[in-house]
A = this chain, B = another copy of it.
Amino acid sequence: MSAPLLSCSRRLRRTPFSARVEAAGIRAYTVYNHMLLPTSFDTPASDYFHLKTHVQVWDVACERQVQVKGRDALKLVQMMTPRSLAKLDYGRCFYTPFVDENGGMINDPVTLKVDEGCYWISIADSDVLLLAKGLACGAGLNVEVCEPDVSPLAVQGPKADDLMARAFGEQVRDIGFFRFERLAFEDTTFVVARSGYSKQGGFEIYVEGSEYAEAVWDALFAVGADLKVRAGCPNSIERIESGLLSHGNDMTIEDTPFECGLGKYVHLDKAEGCIGLEALRRQAARGHAREICSLRIDGDAVPGCTEPWPVEVAGEPAGYVTSAAWSPGLEFNVALGMINKPHWAPGTAVEVIAIDGKRPGTVVALPFE
């Protein structure tokens, strides 16, 4: 079927940028952390080529922050991730797989130490707030857990440095990858990180205080006309091409960090306190039998992947595809999927049972070419 309509209500929270997003001609949304997330402003090809050529401003307020503050803050955050936080100093952003007691992926946020004894967990689509509150109450920790009034705005694309330098000053160019600085805006400061959900380069501005949101948006557009700045959003084609995983799409609570290719973030001997550590140790000893892979799918443009598509090798089950899109740049279909051992080797020929029929495909090592 074609895209259905979305019935809006207060429960699907608007963001502090929603009025600007609507004025910019939003075509479609998804819902993420009980909040509206734009998905389309123009055709898929137009949104994609613009992102890879110029610079876009993205309303990613739905990347809600879970703030953990207090004497036991570090202890609580470490309970949720097997990545050791020992080196998470002020100014750094850590990609942190979050797991449950079975080692299942429950989120894959970026965690920032924004102050002594204060962390922001910039979450994917699940209520980490409730997990953190549960752990804190259950273990009697000395922390406060809340969702602060912080709404990330992403600036992504090859001209992101130029746009941000004009709006926030030349010092943005010196911010390292997955590092942040607090930069001045009007009478306040914002955490500004070199990060974002694309491989085109760029920043995320953690807009603290909804009352500043439209002014930040306007400031970026005021200085960027010649850079061809426009409203955009996380681009599903580009992120699949780049191998960026999406929790809920490519990985769920049924999958382990090892299966998600995130084993390098599992520190079995240095993440004491993590609730999934025992399960992860058992999984590491056993080895894993499937792993998320990039795939090329032949033929015409695939429809959207809204349920896993079986993958077969010689007629036998070999895994499933979880995300797929036609790349107008590569002129073939790109995909991500969970592929069983030994079929996960790059170059393996597979068959993908897409919703509209069977197509040949190939497991590939990034980058696509």
**Closest CB-CB distance, A140 to chain B, in whole Å?**
8
The stretch that binds B, out of A9-17, A192-200, A223-231, is A9-17
**How far does the alpha carbon of A128 sit from the alpha carbon of B28 in the complex, in Å?**
28
Please determine whether A7 and B29 come into contact, CB atoms closer than 8 angstroms: yes
Say whether A242 faces chain B, with CB atoms less than 8 Å apart.
no
- Assembly CA distance A14 to B305 (angstroms): 11
A125 to B168, CA, bound (A): 38
Are A9 and B135 in touch, CB under 8 angstroms?
no
State whether A11 and B130 are in contact (beta carbons under 8 Å apart), knowing that A30-B6, A101-B137 are contacts in the complex. Answer: no
Residue A248 is within 8 A (CB to CB) of chain B in the complex: yes
Known: A134-B131, A135-B134, A137-B135. A30 touches B9 (CB 8 A): yes
Q: Are B79 and A323 in contact (CB under 8 A)?
A: no
A362 within 8 A of B: no
Interface size on A, residues (CB 8 A): 55
- Residue A357 lies at the interface, judged by CB distance under 8 Å to chain B: no
Contact status A323-B9, CB under 8 Å: yes
Task: Check if A5 is an interface residue, CB within 8 A of chain B.
Answer: yes
- Given A3-B6, A14-B306, A304-B8, are A137 and B275 also a contact pair (CB < 8 Å)? yes
Q: What 0/1 pattern do residues 132 to 151 of A give for CB contact below 8 A with B? A: 11111111110000000000
Q: How far is the CB of A73 from chain B (nearest CB, A)?
A: 15
Question: What are 26 residue pairs bridging A and B, where the CB atoms are less than 8 Å apart in the complex?
Answer: A3-B6, A4-B5, A4-B27, A4-B29, A5-B5, A5-B27, A5-B40, A6-B28, A6-B31, A7-B40, A7-B304, A10-B248, A11-B30, A12-B31, A30-B31, A31-B31, A100-B133, A101-B133, A101-B136, A101-B137, A106-B130, A126-B127, A127-B130, A127-B131, A130-B134, A136-B138
* Interface positions of A (Cβ within 8 A of B): 1, 3-12, 14, 22, 26-31, 34, 39-40, 79, 100-101, 106, 125-128, 130-141, 236, 246-249, 275, 304-308, 322-323
